[in-house]
Structure 1
Amino acid sequence: MRARFLGKDPESQEGNSPTLFATDRTDRKTYLAQGWKVVDPEALADVGEVPDHETLIEIPEEVLKMYALRYLEQEGEH
């Protein structure tokens, strides 16, 4: 699986940014998100148990907008 850079949080400092990537999987569309690991006890309690093979990350809304833009571009191609 390969990852293609889509964008990063414009508010982030160099080398420390929430980032969104698209993968080239052929069986389904997936994305990789680099973000801040959630360690806040209240947030973790609200979410509940997270399996050992998963983690929670926090990413800014601006990064999610990058996904929305890509989605809309792809829909326009059909």
Structure 2
Amino acid sequence: MRARFLGKDLESQSGSSPTLYATDRADRATYIAQGWIVTDPQTLADIGPVPQGETIIEIPEDVLKYYARRYQEES
């Protein structure tokens, strides 16, 4: 599987930016999101159990615009 850079949070420090990538999986469209690990106890309680091998991350709303832009470019 390969990952293609879509965009990153322009307000973050260099090297620690929340970032969105698209994968080239053939069986379904998937994305990889780099973000801040959520450690807030209340937030984790609101979400509930997280399966092994997964984690909860937080990304700025501005990063999600790169998801929408990907499909706008294709049309």
TM-score w.r.t. length of structure 2:
0.95
1:1-78 matches, within 5 Å, as 1-74=1-74, 76=75
How far residue 72 of structure 1 moved from its aligned partner, in angstroms, is: 2.3
How far residue 46 of structure 1 moved from its aligned partner, in angstroms, is: 0.3
RMSD: 0.7
**Aligned amino acid, residue 63 of structure 1:** V
Q: Secondary structure at the match of 1:51?
A: coil
TM-score w.r.t. length of structure 1:
0.92
| Per-residue deviation, residues 29-50 of structure 1 (Å, max 9, x unmatched) | 1000000000000000000000
**Aligned amino acid, residue 9 of structure 1:** D
Q: Secondary structure at the match of 1:55?
A: coil
Number of residues paired by the alignment?
75
How far residue 17 of structure 1 moved from its aligned partner, in angstroms, is: 0.5
**Aligned amino acid, residue 72 of structure 2:** L
